[in-house]
Structure 1
Amino acid sequence: MADFHKFLKMGVCSFAMFAAAGVSGTAFAEPLPQEETLSSEEAESSETYVWDLTDLYETPEAWTAEFEAMQAQVATLSEFQGTLGESSESLALALRTISDTAKEVVRLYVYSSLSRDEDQRVPENLERFGRALSLYQAFSEAVSWMDPELLAIGEDRIREFMAEEPALEPFTFSLEDTLRQAPHTLDEDGEALLALAGLALSQSNEIYSLYANASIPWPMITLSDGTEVRLNQAAYSRYRAAPNREDRAAVFDIFWGAWNDYEAGMGATLNSQVLSAVFRARARGFDSVLERNMFDDALPQEIYTQLVDQVNAALPIFHRYLELRGRMLGVEDLRYYDIYPPIIEANTGVFDLARSEEITFDSLRPFGEEYLGLLREGLDGDWMHSHPQDGKETGAYMSGSAYDVHPYVLLNHTDDFNSLSTFTHEWGHAVHTMLAREAQPFETAGYSTFIAEMASTINEILLQEYMVEHAETREEKLFYLGQALESLRGTFFRQTMFGEFELAIHEAAEAGEPLTGSRFSEIYLDLLRRYHGEAEGVMSIDEPYGIEWAYIPHFYYEFYVYQYATSISGAVWFAEQFLAGDDEVRENFLNVLRAGGSDHPHQILLNEAGLDMTQPDAYEAVVRRMTDIMDRMDALLAEED
């Protein structure tokens, strides 16, 4: 009912996205470098490093037994077809059976995905994951008749059922949402057809993955120190921040040159994705792809336009940061390849797992005892796979879909500050999941990405302020303030730029404009230059760098990345008041987390915290924070050594 997949929202949070192809992604919409890895034997030698999946299923054999039981159960769900309108009791029985089945299907998926991500070299893990995906697809097809049947019963009858049957109470929000979606729900045949077409319409992402990960012959580069490097995506992520400026320029020129060789093919692939999105929107009667994507969570389109407008108005603040970056790097003619090197080096020490736990716990004290108690429970449990190892999924994520089991956290901890920040971020997702489960049944515990990233990003902000406060040297303070600025650059500005690109290309397709690789590059280059102030003399960006759009995998999940920008805006708005000691705002924020998916995310923020993301308030808070950070940095730089 009402897009039954909404029950699965708890999914995989942050640094990764739940998708049919599995878990991929990073903190922002671009690939991560590879980490130094341990062997599986080294990782297993310390219980601290490895999660305990027996909390899900005692053995792989137990998983198989449950899988077979759920296969049989899913096959029976069609028996409820035609019965929903017989009585309120019939409706309640059908919804309870289907919901309980969904909960077990998700649990099977979680075990299969976590075991796969622990070691992707093991054939049994890959096979199990494939079976879980097939079961999820079978479940989706088995309940595709629900929305049309519910709508055929009629709103008045559904409301009568809800009023007379207490067992329907957990399903109230989903039933209301089904009624809301009536204008965009097809008849049974139409819904079944779209369900069957789902795999075919998603193939552009698979084609992109083959291009990006298996087809491009990565060139070699010789760095200034004589090091020879094959410049694949992982090497680019590492060497784009090289201290030698000539090395950085060469890395950019060679890497983006390789992508430009595939501009036409990559353009056809992204065009296919865009056209698929346009088809799905029009098939359901939406005027645009943006409208369809915002409609899923009942988000006003004004949120998107307000974000873009406010970020564009804040570009002078961004340009001030770029000019500060140039001064600190000692570069007068700032170029795009100067965007990644750290603006200051500092001896911050090693952030091993024990130190990361301690700092995270201390930095989150503003949340209060309840939050800290849940965090301590998680840190003391075997819920985390913390270090890189051979065959392990890269990046980091929190998996919280298995409702009756605690959340799990995958990290690739390398003992640096970025690892600490990631650690803090992911445990923010985990505690959010715990709070939602304590307050909500399975049916409304799953929360929207729109709120999920606020719950994790606010932890990063509190961490940044804690590190500045406890820094022992001016260099350390500048380092942590610089990290905070980079977070705002990468999240508030860069992700909104991506969002503008997505909006432009989908609007072009909807207007009938042919889209090619060269056209994508033209649109993207114009945005790059405008955002980075080329016309104002702030930064120069060479034309070949316009191919960067092809490097961003998140464009195959339309209108997703803007939520990183709205999330950091909301998080800054909350954190600003947290740090001022406003206990009421803190409790309001915790109520937002407890609400789970009991209402639409925009409504939860309004009702629980009075935050309206269609208004400028949250975005203006980001500008205030960025200005304050740069003021503090200028003051530190003015101090005599």
Structure 2
Amino acid sequence: MKLKKRHEVPDEHKWDLDSVYGSVEAWEKDYARVEEMLPQLTAFQGRLGESAATLLQALKMRDEVSKLLEQVVVWARMKEDEDTANSTYQALSARGRSLYAKATAAAAFLTPEILAIPAETIRAWLDQEPGLAAYRHELENTLRQKAHVRSPEVEELLAQMGEVGAAPSDIFGKLNNADLKFGTIKDEQGNEVELTLGRYLRFLESPVRDVRKQAFEALFTTYRKFRNTIAATYASSVKADVFYARARRYPSARAAALFGTNVPESVYDNLLATVNKNLPSLHRYVQLRRRMLGLDELHMYDLYTPMVADVDRKIPYEEAVETVLKALAPLGEEYCEIARRGMTVDRWVDIYENEGKRSGAYSFGSYTTKPYILMNYQDNLDSMFTLAHELGHSMHSYFSRRHQPYHYADYTIFVAEVASTFNEALLTDYLLKSTDDPRLKMYLINHQLESFRTTLYRQTMFAEFEHIAHQRVENGEALTADVLDEIYYDLNKRYYGTEGMVVDDLIAVEWARIPHFYSAFYVYQYATGISAATALSQQVLTEGRPAVERYLNFLKSGSSDYSTNLLKQAGVDMTSPEPIQQALDVFARLLDQMEQLAG
């Protein structure tokens, strides 16, 4: 069926962006207002130490600029995503990005100047000036950085090194996205098709084993040809991490990375230790997968194809909304009514695909807008899960913006995936309890098991690789292609096991294709996120109202405290191994169910 053009899509199927700006002219007025406000912000430069009142005025001015800027940038970006071929909105989105960069530069003086004020002075001001007290957590968090701020001369040099430090990531990005070509393979119909990064996962999910094998071998044979170049690029990235950590007097690159969100290093260590202790469950899963696929031995290219074929179940959007709401019923009437209105009458969701629309799905918006959701809904189970996932993000944003001032309304990456994965867990639980169809049950359990494998186990393996690589450089060792291959291959053997499992030689070079490795010590947060979400969802399902209240308070908290503190108040202590173990216990129980159903 031919896709509709954007203007042919009925309004009820589109998100309501007119409530932000009804015309380009209205957007232009606010764009101009932001430009006019920037000199008012920079007028505070050099003056923050004058008094509590001056500091308060500067912070309020920053928030006023940022709030309007976000609205301007978000609207232009979302209009562009409606139809990526529309040159008008391409231009507006580009202008929005430029304005954002200009505003970021204009506000750059704030943190260094705050840090130049004696800590005891700021704390006295917090007690004296009631308005400033609303910024207490933000200012205390800024003061934490003081021990790692160097002299003005050193800071200037470090700032000038910014582009150099970003070079390895830029080089890898150009090589990976533009220059590498992976050749062609034969698809399920025997047609010669080009292998691209975008198509790779689809080929790995193919029911035809030879298609999976071809894709795997073509991709990693290509990376292996460039392994020395990519190893030098990645080694440079790790060396840059170590350099910046030492320049700012952190004990390690990992300590520097975790400092920003005030996450103790014990959280990272607990994750690695607890997942490694539970590797026998992953080995069991691998063996179950081998049996269910009817294979004598499992290869690395057999890990993504579904163990259970797609359940041919048509789920129109309206039915998906009702099912998701039933699944979320344990969260209470207020949550569900807000969610219902958001997905229907308030038009948070841009539902269906149209010609030129951005692919995929996301939750987006600003403090002053609705928490919008972009979908490309396909009337199937996967799309219903995606809707539940993105709704989790949007409800987190809704409650946070409603209950927090602007400067605390956002939330950190450490907790960003909690609400979305929580919703998926409740949906899975509801669907499993409301069907007697063994095939549907197996499909749902397969979906959940794969979420755990790819998000908890695999991302932890990535986190362990990063940790080892950085430790090697900190110990003065070289990261050659051979060294990186050996580290990565040994991790795969340990994680997936070797009984009935062939850890193919080519998997050794997979480290060379992971762009997240150029944002060091980032991926562990996917694993901690699914662990926290699983533990919280289990509490809601077993404890009822007390756990619901804790969870809703978490959604309302934004970034008003450190992430680990907010999760602790919700009922999950991420500084202990317990939430990781609880999530892995759920994985083991799902595995038991799948083994029973498979016979």
Do the structures match in fold with TM over 0.5?
yes
Question: Does the C-alpha gap of structure 1 residues 83 and 363 become closer, same or farther in structure 2, counting only changes over 3 Å?
Answer: same
Question: Does the C-alpha gap of structure 1 residues 192 and 46 become closer, same or farther in structure 2, counting only changes over 3 Å?
Answer: farther
Q: How does 1:85-484 map to 2 (within 5 A)?
A: 85-188=49-152, 190-191=154-155, 194-195=158-159, 197-223=161-187, 225-345=189-309, 347-380=311-344, 381-400=346-365, 402-484=366-448
CA contact (8 A) 1:464 1:480 kept: yes
CA contact (8 A) 2:351 2:377 kept: yes
Q: CA deviation at 1:424?
A: 0.6
Please, which moves more after superposition, 238-247 or 474-483?
238-247
Query: What CA RMSD, in Å, does the superposition of the two structures yield over aligned residues?
Result: 2.2
CA contact (8 A) 2:536 2:571 kept: no
CA distance in 1, matches of 2:47, 2:133: 19
CA distance in 2, matches of 1:240, 1:158: 56
Please, which moves more after superposition, 370-379 or 299-308?
370-379
Describe the superposition over 1:549-605 as per-residue Cα deviations: whole angstroms up to 9, x where unpaired: 233222232222111111111111111122224321121111111111000001112
CA contact (8 A) 1:521 1:546 kept: yes
Match of 1:632 in 2: 593
Q: CA deviation at 1:308?
A: 0.5
| Letter of the structure 2 residue corresponding to residue 636 of structure 1 | L
2:576 matches 1:615: yes
- In the alignment of these two chains, the number of paired residues is 598
Q: CA deviation at 1:200?
A: 4.9
Q: Secondary structure at the match of 1:579?
A: helix
Q: CA deviation at 1:183?
A: 0.7
| Letter of the structure 1 residue corresponding to residue 375 of structure 2 | L
Q: Secondary structure at the match of 1:468?
A: helix
CA contact (8 A) 1:310 1:616 kept: yes
Instruction: Give ranges in structure 2 of 5+ residues lacking alignment.
Output: none
Instruction: Give ranges in structure 1 of 5+ residues lacking alignment.
Output: 1-35
Match of 2:562 in 1: 600
| Letter of the structure 2 residue corresponding to residue 481 of structure 1 | I
2:483 matches 1:522: no
Describe the superposition over 1:134-188 as per-residue Cα deviations: whole angstroms up to 9, x where unpaired: 3222223223222232233211211121112111132111111111211122455
Match of 2:534 in 1: 572
Q: CA deviation at 1:469?
A: 1.6
Match of 2:32 in 1: 68
CA contact (8 A) 2:564 2:575 kept: no
Please, which moves more after superposition, 307-316 or 560-569?
560-569
Q: CA deviation at 1:627?
A: 1.7
CA contact (8 A) 1:424 1:456 kept: yes
Q: CA deviation at 1:66?
A: 2.1
Describe the superposition over 1:200-233 as per-residue Cα deviations: whole angstroms up to 9, x where unpaired: 5334433333322221223111246423221112
CA contact (8 A) 1:409 1:430 kept: yes
CA distance in 2, matches of 1:522, 1:39: 50
Q: Secondary structure at the match of 1:456?
A: helix
CA distance in 1, matches of 2:164, 2:591: 49
CA distance in 2, matches of 1:370, 1:129: 35
| Letter of the structure 2 residue corresponding to residue 298 of structure 1 | N
Match of 1:549 in 2: 511
| Letter of the structure 2 residue corresponding to residue 566 of structure 1 | T
| Letter of the structure 2 residue corresponding to residue 51 of structure 1 | W
Match of 1:9 in 2: none
CA distance in 2, matches of 1:593, 1:190: 40
CA contact (8 A) 1:148 1:188 kept: no
CA distance in 2, matches of 1:93, 1:185: 25
Please, which moves more after superposition, 70-79 or 455-464?
70-79
Describe the superposition over 1:468-501 as per-residue Cα deviations: whole angstroms up to 9, x where unpaired: 1222411111111111111111111011111111
Question: Does the C-alpha gap of structure 1 residues 198 and 385 become closer, same or farther in structure 2, counting only changes over 3 Å?
Answer: farther
Query: After the TM superposition, which parts of structure 1 deviate over 6 Å for at least 4 consecutive aligned residues?
Result: none
Please, which moves more after superposition, 76-85 or 492-501?
76-85
Q: Secondary structure at the match of 2:185?
A: strand
**Higher RCO (CA-CA < 8 Å; seq separation 6+):** 1
CA distance in 2, matches of 1:372, 1:507: 47
CA contact (8 A) 2:311 2:443 kept: no
Please, which moves more after superposition, 470-479 or 505-514?
505-514
